[in-house]
Amino acid sequence: MSRKILILTMVLCTALVLALVPIVVACAAPKAKPGQVLKVGMMNPTTGPAAEKGSVMTHANLDAIKYINDELGGAGGYPIEVLALDSRYDATQAVVIVKRFMDEGCLLFTTASSKEMSAAMTSANEAGFPGISCFSAPSLYRPPKHIYGQTPDYGDDALAFANFYMKNIWKGQGKPKFALHLLNNPTGYGARDAFRAKAEELGIEIVPSLEKPFEHTATTTSEMDSVTNIKSMNPDVIYISSTPAPTAVILKNLYATYGKEAYQKLTIGCAHASFTKALIDLAGADVVEGVYGTFPTVLWGDDVPGMAKMTEYCQKLHPANYGNMDYITSWAQSLIVAEILKLVVKNAGYDVLAKGDAAAWKAVETQGFHKLNNYNVGGLQGSVSYTPGDNRLTKYNRIYQIKGGKIGSPSDWIEAPMVKYEEYPWFGK
């Protein structure tokens, strides 16, 4: 055989082998048999006092799962089946739901809110049943057990905003005065705990005191008394950690109490639970003009890889949700769920997961959650990794400001350092 013919034969053989590689890989990949699914539980408050968030978040969770199943072939070759239930933003209902998730063989579960997870986590932790809270508080995973935070928590929000304010806004002498208006559940208490831990280090003063921040309920219809008290203290900053509806009430009451001109001179910051399109719709563009807020995702229309597909599904299935950043968080949550399940299928195999029992939950946690390493979630939020001793799956937040009725002016991504709240004697009391 001549040298030229030998070379040509080798080239053709190489090309044939390369052509067969995708076929071999496809044959080697797991293929689900009829009835083989990866079952997950997802609870959101689709009705009740936080429905303006929960309904959007449910749509996003399920739209993303449809995309994952229809276009990506599920997770690791297995379709994801969702048991989606309405928590009604009610703690008792959340406890009932998490028990049902476990009884029905779910491999992991998700919640929208810290209130839901705060109620669900006791039985979940006792059973070793892993869960992800979209919006979270330090009390959910300090010290770390089986509950994970998808995004930076409300303590991270508070510290990110306070640092941003001190570096970029505060021009006065001495310590700026912060008045806190907090929802009376983990959404508010996470911010309270962060300021209790770090206010002195940050160089800020809390009025009237860290022990007595202003509080409100999720169903409040008027906060005129509290905002009148706030005005009398002449704070430099008002920081609100709540959901959209009560935050809108507080802002409208502040606007009425201060008057337009004085109100516009205030610096107002909001935690990410409230800082979405629903707040603008409920409070009105004039009232929210200039208000700052934290949020752990990009904006709609940002040039990131995951934007186009999310936008396609949102506009096709739930067009009224387009522009609401809560949709982004829950779409990203479903992508993270799929990545965890893909990892555990790869590392442990489907047979380990088939029963949806304690052994399966342990595999999901050790071979799924704990193997997360810089998963970029399509660029929609901070990259996701597991760090031993820190159950926040991402640590990155942004500061935004509302201008002209729209959320914009994003800061750079801000990494939130871990705070070991359990080392403070007051934590959890």
Distance, in Å, from the CA atom of 297 to the CA atom of 325, rounded to the nearest integer, reads 8
Query: In terms of pTM, does the model score above 0.85?
Result: yes
Fold of 155-295+401-423: Rossmann fold (3.40.50)
Amino acid 21 reads V
The residues that bridge with 402 in the sheet, in sequence order, are 407
- Per-residue confidence (pLDDT) for residue 23, from 0 to 100: 39
DSSP 271: -
- Per-residue confidence (pLDDT) for residue 318, from 0 to 100: 98
b/e string for 227-252 if b means 16 or more Cβ within 10 A? Answer: beebbeeebbbbbbbbbbbbbbbbbb
> Within 13 Å of residue 103, how many CA atoms lie on the same side as its CB?
6
Q: Which helix (H) or strand (E) holds 339?
A: helix 325-348
Which sequence spans correspond to the domains of the chain?
Answer: 38-152+305-394, 155-295+401-423
**Do residues 181 and 141 make contact, with C-beta atoms less than 8 angstroms apart?**
no
> Three-state secondary structure along 18-41?
HHHHHHHHHHHCCCCCCCCCEEEE
Among 345, 368, 373, which Cα is nearest to 38's?
345
The pLDDT tens digits for 217-241 are 999 999 999 999 999 999 999 999 9
The pLDDT tens digits for 238-294 are 999 999 999 999 999 999 999 999 999 999 999 999 999 999 999 999 999 999 999
Quick one: average pLDDT of 381-409? 97
33 pLDDT tier (thresholds 50, 70, 90): confident
- Per-residue confidence (pLDDT) for residue 18, from 0 to 100: 40
What tokens appear for 385 in the block?
Answer: 């990794």
The pLDDT tens digits for 307-364 are 999 999 999 999 999 999 999 999 999 999 999 999 999 999 999 999 999 999 999 9
CATH code of the domain made up of 38-152+305-394: 3.40.50.2300
In total, the chain counts a number of residues equal to 429
- Per-residue confidence (pLDDT) for residue 219, from 0 to 100: 97
Helices (H), 349-368: 350-353, 358-367
Quick one: average pLDDT of 369-380? 98
213 pLDDT tier (thresholds 50, 70, 90): very high
**Do 38-152+305-394 and 155-295+401-423 agree at the fold level?**
yes
30 pLDDT tier (thresholds 50, 70, 90): low
429 pLDDT tier (thresholds 50, 70, 90): confident
Distance, in Å, from the CA atom of 384 to the CA atom of 392, rounded to the nearest integer, reads 9
Q: What is the mean pLDDT of the chain?
A: 93
- Per-residue confidence (pLDDT) for residue 353, from 0 to 100: 97
Distance, in Å, from the CA atom of 368 to the CA atom of 347, rounded to the nearest integer, reads 8
Residues 346, 351, 354, 356: is their CA dihedral positive or negative? negative
- Per-residue confidence (pLDDT) for residue 140, from 0 to 100: 97
- Per-residue confidence (pLDDT) for residue 191, from 0 to 100: 97
List the beta strands (DSSP E) in 157-196. Answer: 177-183
**Could you give the percent of the chain with pLDDT greater than 90?**
91
Adjacency order of strands within the sheet including 80-86: 80-86, 38-44, 109-111, 131-133, 147-149
